């Protein structure tokens, strides 16, 4: 047993993490000491400042980072090799932070529901009780959601940067726990919301258990938690390979659960539907980006040398995910559930890119690498899904949001702008040219093809065709169906939600027309640092 | 810059290369020749929404003015061209880049050379006369403004066709004239027959257009360009089979536009259009576009004897086919249409004969443009006087009632049968002479065609202007107004004098920079003997007509007890039946089969597939029952799946 060596902490490179974590803690302090009336503004400003500060730090680090092997990789391994601040990490950090800023804007929206936020006035009050009514009449608001969001963001930043199994587990939990809580905080339909939170928590804990078991098995195989050391062992093929394979499988369960791959997707529709829509938007975008980052790092860095053993399993999962996601979405009558299944199908598409990994020597010059394609897809999808859920929060009646598809009929007449924006996001999800979704799909499918995964690509294309059906069905309902009864009404949002929607739409359009810069940026990120 | 030529020793003569010099001086106004009628078309067709009343009053004058303006400009350019050195008679003008995709870079380029110069004069000159004539002819039509808009559109498109410096611009004009032709054939769309005829012309022309567009595509893949300049320089390096294919595809295009067998069936029906249209489009200009295409593509045809032979065969069949049709038709316009088909056959024949024939193809094209336009307009004038009756069996003895029409028509008649001294005599005689020199079978066919021409034209003359009056009741023939007779007189003069173009071999030498100079082939007989022979054959034809038609009583209703030959000719030599049997019914069956396949096969797969997916979805969503215990179980199943998949793959 070697002696404990005090790790060198690279404060500059870890600045984004530290800022977000610091602001989260500060938020708790504000909650404790600031008067109720001042909390809302203080929390929102604090969160936005923290996120933007972290974003600036990411950009600064990106400009100042060490470059290896002529741009093949860049960055450093910080804190004794437990956190890798390399190109992909910085790219993902940037994406997560931008999505988080948009998330804060959605959280802070108080215009839609008569001057209060989408969160419960007093989460501890039982649904339907006197206390709840009182909290409602007093216009109370849970401003704790901002520190919770910041903790989740911290977890999301840590997750894809983690370079050993324990740090990854910590990231996983830090990202998940605040989200479990946030899911249960809806102001309207609280029972549904609480049920969703509990389900998410139970299943999340269950899958985390598998992840931990996998950590133990892989440690047993490699004798180390460190990805570099695991990679070393895999390369040298020491130890019991069943241990490795089972461990690898269990680790993947934890991550596949987070990204919502089949057969670990069961929670997705219930949670997406039950959670307050701002939380759904933030979670759908941010969690997917972070968890895919972690999945990429774990399998490319730690198990990259053994990719022949895990690629077939990923083929099966990707095919199942695309098929089940697309097919189940067809019969959904609820817009949020439909979007949840669509998110499952998108997980499958991203997985298609993920399993398209090839040795860098096999890549033609200028060919898009699997990592590049996945990073690009994640960025584009994040904006699309955030914008789509933001629009869902606008369509309401007296009972709150209206998510039943029947009630969306005739939205094109009621509010042409909102309907057009939603139709645009749906077309992007369907992968229609001139939207970012098309470029993303093209990128992931072509890398998978180049790696010889044509069966997966064929299924992917079939799934895209099926998926196009239910996206277009919503467009048809909005534009060509007669409204039922009074029809839905669109509440015009404050500048906060409007900014988010505009940001999503602009990113989707720009990345569809000129995808070059972002693709180049994803390429510039280079490979993972080992 | 001098004209470049490539010596091709094996061919025995040089094929000129298209190498235009930049337009300067008066030639920089080249684009205006097209722009004027185009502007007229836009104003007349689109302007109706703004100033309907005013345009209806002056629209026909605007249309005529743009055509006349183009003619004046064409004449100016022609005179300037004559003043130039022979080596500087190819002038190019780049207007703008039309499109640029990958390796295909197409400019809207114009080429003004002796060939297009002659065409410009014909199109704008005859076009102007027909515009003037139409003012009178269409006077009582309430849609006269639109008619002039279409006419202007046609003129503009036809000018694009003959001025294009690459095949794509030619194609633009080609489709433009097709559109204008369609619109004008069906101008009286309230008549079912007119609408049907327009559709027929359109569809048959599409078949030809496929040939032209495939040829253009093949040129692009072979030469990487569609410019005349590039292609004419590189044809020597292309393989023989490519050149053959190019020649045959271009011929297919030419057959469609010029109503050559087997795509001839639309021309007779096209006579449903107003008569000025028949004169301008379906006699003088558009139908000769195929001849233009073959002559313009001389750098391809010169290198492909196979395609040239096919051109000659098609032309010979057509010239006899059209002539036979002309013998049996009682509708004056259809008889003339058959004659047009036959005369274009002559031009095509000359074009197929190669260098020796090109100038005479163009020469005959010009003279035919004069005398056939003259006769069509004359027929229109007759119809004008006979309450729009077209049946010659209801005419007779009109020469004293319509003296101007009769005299001008007679000039055209003498020209077309090749009466010595008249324009048609010079041009047709040259073609027969060249054909005999190249191949005596073809030559004899051409000679026979001349005899048949003499027959059917004399029959037409006799039935219309001579003999008994067989008019319908209440018809009072009268001479047409001045606006209609003046163009007739001008065209009659041109029909008589068109032969001057051959003075001192002008047309041959003028076109030599485009078509190349032919070495002289001795005909099997002395030229004067051939000429005398041709005149004799024509005289036989005329005499036969006199015996069979002139000296007999003409029944007012066509007799039904006639020989098989007459029946066949009346039925367009069963052209429609052939099309019906060979193309239309198999096509209809094919389409029927495809529709059933689409309905039951494709739709079955699509709808069955979607129903299946929907059903699967309904079944699968039952798994999503909302119980967290079931979800946990499915998660556990997933764990097993993942782990087993890993183990199975690696330990198997």
CB contact under 8 A, A328 and B624: yes
CB contact under 8 A, A252 and B634: no
Shortest alpha-carbon distance between residue A169 and chain B (Å): 18
CB contact under 8 A, A312 and B645: yes
Instruction: Judge whether B630 is closer than 8 Å to chain A, CB to CB.
Output: yes
Length of chain A: 530
Q: Give me the residues of B, 280-299, that contact A with CB < 8 A.
A: none
pLDDT at A75: 86
Residue of chain A whose alpha carbon sits nearest to that of B635: A264
- Name the average pLDDT for chain B: 89
Shortest alpha-carbon distance between residue B154 and chain A (Å): 39
CB contact under 8 A, A198 and B649: no
DSSP string, B410-445: HHHHHHHHT-TTSHHHHHHHHHHHHHHHH-HHHHHH
- Name the average pLDDT for chain A: 91
Is A116 a member of any domain?
Answer: yes
| pLDDT average, residue stretch A224-229 | 92
> Which residues of chain B have a CB within 8 Å of the CB of A269?
624
Angstrom CA distances, A279 to A22, A151, A387, A480, A494, stand at: 22, 14, 13, 31, 18
- What are B199-210's pLDDT values in tens digits? 999 999 999 999
- Measured between CB atoms, which of A263, A327, A469 is closest to B638? A263
DSSP string, B14-76: EEEPP-PEEP-GGGGGHHHHHHHHHHHHHHHHHGGGT-HHHHHHHHHHHHHHHHHHHHHHHHH
Is A5 a member of any domain?
Answer: no
Which residue in B606, B628, B634 has the most chain A C-beta atoms within 10 A of its own C-beta, making it the best mutation to test that interface? Answer: B628
Shortest alpha-carbon distance between residue A327 and chain B (Å): 5
pLDDT at A487: 66
| pLDDT average, residue stretch B91-119 | 88
Q: How many CB pairs under 8 A join A and B?
A: 92
> Which residues of chain B have a CB within 8 Å of the CB of A203?
628, 631-632, 635
Instruction: Judge whether B217 is closer than 8 Å to chain A, CB to CB.
Output: no
Residue of chain B whose alpha carbon sits nearest to that of A243: B647
Assign A79 a pLDDT band (cuts: 50, 70, 90). Answer: confident
- What are B523-552's pLDDT values in tens digits? 777 888 889 999 999 999 999 999 888 888
Instruction: Judge whether A257 is closer than 8 Å to chain B, CB to CB.
Output: yes
- What are A113-161's pLDDT values in tens digits? 878 888 888 888 888 888 888 888 888 888 999 999 999 999 999 999 9
Is A238 a member of any domain?
Answer: yes
CB atoms within 10 A of CB A223: 14
User: Which conformational region is residue A239 in: left (phi greater than 0), alpha (psi within -120 to 50 degrees), or beta?
Assistant: left
- What are A351-393's pLDDT values in tens digits? 999 998 887 777 777 788 899 999 999 999 999 999 999 999 9
Instruction: Judge whether A269 is closer than 8 Å to chain B, CB to CB.
Output: yes
Which residue in A202, A260, A263 has the most chain B C-beta atoms within 10 A of its own C-beta, making it the best mutation to test that interface? Answer: A263
Instruction: Judge whether A56 is closer than 8 Å to chain B, CB to CB.
Output: no
Residue for token digits 């060490």? Answer: A66
Shortest alpha-carbon distance between residue A330 and chain B (Å): 7
Judge whether B322 and B264 are in contact, CB under 8 Å. Answer: yes
Instruction: Judge whether B631 is closer than 8 Å to chain A, CB to CB.
Output: yes
Q: Give me the residues of A, 226-245, that contact B with CB < 8 A.
A: 241-242, 245
- Measured between CB atoms, which of B610, B638, B647 is closest to A242? B647
Tokens for B47, please give them.
């302007």
Instruction: Judge whether B643 is closer than 8 Å to chain A, CB to CB.
Output: yes
Tokens for A307, please give them.
């990719």
> Which residues of chain B have a CB within 8 Å of the CB of A313?
642, 645-646, 649
CB contact under 8 A, B639 and A206: no
Instruction: Judge whether A270 is closer than 8 Å to chain B, CB to CB.
Output: yes
- Report the alpha-carbon distance of residue B151 to residue B135 in Å, rounded: 12
pLDDT at A208: 95
Is A318 a member of any domain?
Answer: yes
Judge whether A344 and A317 are in contact, CB under 8 Å. Answer: no
DSSP code of residue B563: -
- Among A205-209, B570-574, B627-631, top mean pLDDT goes to A205-209
pLDDT at B2: 32
CB contact under 8 A, A263 and B651: no
Is A130 a member of any domain?
Answer: yes
Q: Lowest-pLDDT range, A469-483, B80-94, B296-310, B563-577? A: B563-577
- CA–CA–CA angle A153, A159, A161 (5° rounding): 110
| pLDDT average, residue stretch B120-143 | 92
> Which residues of chain B have a CB within 8 Å of the CB of A328?
617, 620-621, 624
> Which residues of chain A have a CB within 8 Å of the CB of B634?
263, 266
Q: Lowest-pLDDT range, B3-12, B231-240, B488-497? A: B3-12
CB contact under 8 A, B610 and A317: no
Burial class (CB in 10 A: 0-12, 13-18, 19+), A420: middle
Shortest alpha-carbon distance between residue B101 and chain A (Å): 19
Assign B5 a pLDDT band (cuts: 50, 70, 90). Answer: very low
- Report the alpha-carbon distance of residue A230 to residue A81 in Å, rounded: 13
| pLDDT average, residue stretch A61-83 | 85
- Measured between CB atoms, which of A269, A310, A317 is closest to B624? A269
CB contact under 8 A, B635 and A266: yes
- What are A337-350's pLDDT values in tens digits? 999 999 999 999 99
Is A10 a member of any domain?
Answer: no
CB contact under 8 A, B635 and A264: yes
- pLDDT exceeds cutoff 90 at B112: yes
pLDDT at B13: 60
DSSP code of residue B480: P
Shortest alpha-carbon distance between residue B606 and chain A (Å): 11
- pLDDT exceeds cutoff 80 at A484: no
Is A4 a member of any domain?
Answer: no
Shortest alpha-carbon distance between residue A315 and chain B (Å): 10
CB contact under 8 A, B618 and A207: no
Shortest alpha-carbon distance between residue A232 and chain B (Å): 19
Assign B256 a pLDDT band (cuts: 50, 70, 90). Answer: very high
Question: What's CA A344's distance to the chain center, in Å?
Answer: 12
pLDDT at A1: 53
CB contact under 8 A, A266 and B634: yes
CB contact under 8 A, A246 and B639: no
Instruction: Judge whether A209 is closer than 8 Å to chain B, CB to CB.
Output: no
- Report the alpha-carbon distance of residue A459 to residue B488 in Å, rounded: 73
pLDDT at B11: 46
CB contact under 8 A, A263 and B617: no
3-state secondary structure B273-320: CCHHHHHHHHHHCHHHHHHHHHHHCHHHHCCCHHHHHHHHHHHHHHHH
Q: Give me the residues of B, 569-628, that contact A with CB < 8 A.
A: 610, 613-614, 616-618, 620-621, 623-624, 626, 628
> Which residues of chain B have a CB within 8 Å of the CB of A466?
613
CB contact under 8 A, A245 and B646: yes
CB atoms within 10 A of CB B433: 22
Provide the domain limits for residue A238. 15-524
Assign A2 a pLDDT band (cuts: 50, 70, 90). Answer: low
Instruction: Judge whether A256 is closer than 8 Å to chain B, CB to CB.
Output: yes
Q: What's the domain count of chain A?
A: 1
> Which residues of chain A have a CB within 8 Å of the CB of B614?
330-331
Judge whether B201 and B269 are in contact, CB under 8 Å. Answer: yes
- Measured between CB atoms, which of B616, B631, B646 is closest to A266? B631
Tokens for A18, please give them.
């530290």
pLDDT at B36: 95
Is A2 a member of any domain?
Answer: no
pLDDT at B558: 80
- pLDDT exceeds cutoff 90 at A201: yes
| Alpha helix ranges (H) inside B141-187 | 144-163, 167-185
- Measured between CB atoms, which of A210, A248, A270 is closest to B639? A210
């Amino acid at each position: 047993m070697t002696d404990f060596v005090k790790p060198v902490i690279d404060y500059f490179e870890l600045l984004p993490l530290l800022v977000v974590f610091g602001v989260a803690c500060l938020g708790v302090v504000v909650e404790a000491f600031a008067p109720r009336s001042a909390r809302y503004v203080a929390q929102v400003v604090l969160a936005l400042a923290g996120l933007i500060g972290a974003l600036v730090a990411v950009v600064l680090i990106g400009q100042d980072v060490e470059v290896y092997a002529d741009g093949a990789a860049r960055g450093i391994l910080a804190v004794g090799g437990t956190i890798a601040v390399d190109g992909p990490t910085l790219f993902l950090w940037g994406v997560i932070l931008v999505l988080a800023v948009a998330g804060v804007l959605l959280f802070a929206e108080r215009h839609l529901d008569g001057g209060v936020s989408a969160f419960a006035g007093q989460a501890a009050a039982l649904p339907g009780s006197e206390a709840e009514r009182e909290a409602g009449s007093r216009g109370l608001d849970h401003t704790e959601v901002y520190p919770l969001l910041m903790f989740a963001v911290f977890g999301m930043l840590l997750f894809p940067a983690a370079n050993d199994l324990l740090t990854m587990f910590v990231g996983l939990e830090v990202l998940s726990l605040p989200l479990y809580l946030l899911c249960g905080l809806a102001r309207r339909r609280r029972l549904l919301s609480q049920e969703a939170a509990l389900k998410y928590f139970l299943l999340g804990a269950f899958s985390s258990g598998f992840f931990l078991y996998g950590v133990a098995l892989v440690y047993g195989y490699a004798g180390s938690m460190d990805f570099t050391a695991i990679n070393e062992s895999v390369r040298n093929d020491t130890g019991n390979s069943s241990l490795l394979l089972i461990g690898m499988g269990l680790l993947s369960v934890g991550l596949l659960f987070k990204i919502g791959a089949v057969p670990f997707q069961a929670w997705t529709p219930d949670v997406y539907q039950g959670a307050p829509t701002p939380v759904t938007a933030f979670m759908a975008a941010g969690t997917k980006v972070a968890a895919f980052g972690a999945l990429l790092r774990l399998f490319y860095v730690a198990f990259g040398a053994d990719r022949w053993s895990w690629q077939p399993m990923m083929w099966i999962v990707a095919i199942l995910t695309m098929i089940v996601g697309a097919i189940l979405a067809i019969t959904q009558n609820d817009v949020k559930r439909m979007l949840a299944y669509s998110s499952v199908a998108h997980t499958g598409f991203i997985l298609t890119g993920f399993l398209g990994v090839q040795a860098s020597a096999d890549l033609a010059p200028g060919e898009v690498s699997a990592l590049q394609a996945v990073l690009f897809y994640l960025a584009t999808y994040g904006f699309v899904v955030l914008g789509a859920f933001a629009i869902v929060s606008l369509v309401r009646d007296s009972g709150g949001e209206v998510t039943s598809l029947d009630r969306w009929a005739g939205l094109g007449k009621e509010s042409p702008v909102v309907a057009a924006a939603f139709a645009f996001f749906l077309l992007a999800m369907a992968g229609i040219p001139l939207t970012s979704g098309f470029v993303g799909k093209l990128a992931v499918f072509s890398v998978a093809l180049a790696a010889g995964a044509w069966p997966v690509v064929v299924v992917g294309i079939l799934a895209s065709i099926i998926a196009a059906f239910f996206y277009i069905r919503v467009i048809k309902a909005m534009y060509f169906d007669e409204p039922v009864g009074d029809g839905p009404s669109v509440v015009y949002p404050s500048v906060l939600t409007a900014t988010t929607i505009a940001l999503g739409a602009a990113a989707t359009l720009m990345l569809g027309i000129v995808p070059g810069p972002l693709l180049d940026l994803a390429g510039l990120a280079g490979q993972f640092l080992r | 810059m001098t004209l470049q030529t490539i010596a091709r020793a094996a061919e025995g003569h040089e094929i000129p290369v298209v190498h235009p010099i930049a337009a300067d001086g008066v030639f920089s106004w080249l684009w205006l020749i097209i722009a004027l009628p185009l502007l007229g078309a836009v104003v007349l067709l689109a302007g109706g929404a703004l100033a309907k009343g005013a345009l209806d009053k002056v629209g026909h004058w605007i249309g005529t003015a743009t055509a006349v303006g183009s003619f004046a400009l064409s004449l100016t350019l022609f005179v300037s061209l004559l003043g130039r050195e022979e080596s500087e008679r190819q002038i190019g003008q780049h207007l703008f880049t039309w499109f640029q995709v990958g390796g295909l870079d197409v400019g809207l380029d114009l080429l003004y050379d002796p060939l297009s110069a002659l065409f410009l004069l014909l199109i704008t000159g005859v076009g102007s006369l027909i515009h003037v004539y139409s003012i009178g002819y269409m006077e009582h039509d309430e849609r006269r403004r639109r008619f002039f808009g279409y006419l202007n559109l046609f003129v503009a498109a036809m000018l694009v066709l003959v001025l294009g410096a690459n095949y794509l611009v030619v194609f633009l004009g080609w489709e433009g004239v097709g559109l204008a032709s369609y619109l004008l054939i069906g101008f009286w769309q309230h008549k079912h027959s007119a609408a049907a005829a327009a559709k027929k012309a359109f569809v048959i022309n599409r078949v030809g257009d496929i040939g032209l567009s495939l040829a253009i595509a093949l040129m692009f893949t072979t030469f990487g360009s569609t410019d005349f300049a590039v292609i004419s320089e590189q044809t020597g390096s292309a393989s023989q089979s490519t050149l053959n294919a190019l020649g045959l595809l271009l011929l297919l295009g030419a057959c469609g536009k010029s109503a050559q067998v087997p795509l001839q069936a639309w021309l007779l029906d096209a006579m449903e259009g107003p008569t000025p249209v028949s004169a301008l489009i379906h006699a003088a200009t558009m139908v000769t576009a195929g001849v233009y295409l073959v002559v313009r593509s001389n750098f391809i045809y010169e290198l492909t004897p196979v395609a040239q032979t096919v051109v000659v065969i098609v032309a010979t069949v057509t010239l006899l086919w059209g002539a036979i049709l002309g013998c049996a038709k009682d509708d004056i316009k259809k008889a003339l249409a058959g004659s047009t088909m036959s005369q274009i056959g002559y031009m095509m024949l000359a074009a197929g004969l190669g260098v020796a024939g090109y100038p005479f193809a163009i020469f005959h094209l010009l003279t035919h443009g004069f005398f056939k336009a003259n006769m069509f307009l004359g027929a229109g004038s007759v119809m004008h006087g006979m309450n729009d009756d077209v049946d010659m069996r209801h005419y007779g003895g009109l020469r004293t009632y319509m003296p101007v029409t009769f005299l001008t028509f007679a000039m055209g008649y003498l020209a077309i049968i090749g009466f010595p001294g008249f324009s048609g005599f010079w041009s047709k005689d040259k073609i027969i002479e060249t054909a005999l020199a190249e191949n005596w079978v073809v030559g004899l066919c051409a000679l026979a065609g001349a005899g048949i021409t003499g027959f059917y034209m004399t029959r037409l003359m006799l039935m219309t202007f001579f003999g008994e009056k067989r008019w319908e009741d209440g018809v009072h023939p009268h001479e047409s107004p001045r606006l209609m007779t003046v163009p007739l007189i001008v065209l009659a003069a041109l029909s008589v004098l068109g032969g001057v173009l051959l003075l001192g071999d002008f047309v041959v030498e003028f076109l030599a920079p485009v078509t190349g100079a032919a070495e002289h082939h001795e005909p099997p007989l002395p030229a004067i003997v051939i000429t005398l022979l041709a005149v004799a054959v024509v005289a036989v034809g005329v005499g036969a007509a006199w015996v069979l038609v002139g000296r007999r009583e003409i029944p007012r209703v066509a007799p039904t007890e006639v020989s098989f030959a007459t029946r066949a000719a009346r039925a367009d030599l069963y052209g429609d039946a052939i099309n019906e049997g060979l193309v239309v019914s198999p096509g209809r069956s094919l389409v029927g089969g495809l529709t059933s396949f689409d309905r039951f096969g494709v739709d079955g797969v699509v709808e069955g597939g979607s129903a299946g997916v929907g059903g699967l979805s309904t079944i699968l969503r039952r798994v999503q029952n909302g119980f967290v215990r079931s979800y946990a179980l499915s998660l556990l199943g997933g764990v097993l799946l993942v782990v087993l998949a890993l183990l199975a793959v690696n330990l198997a």
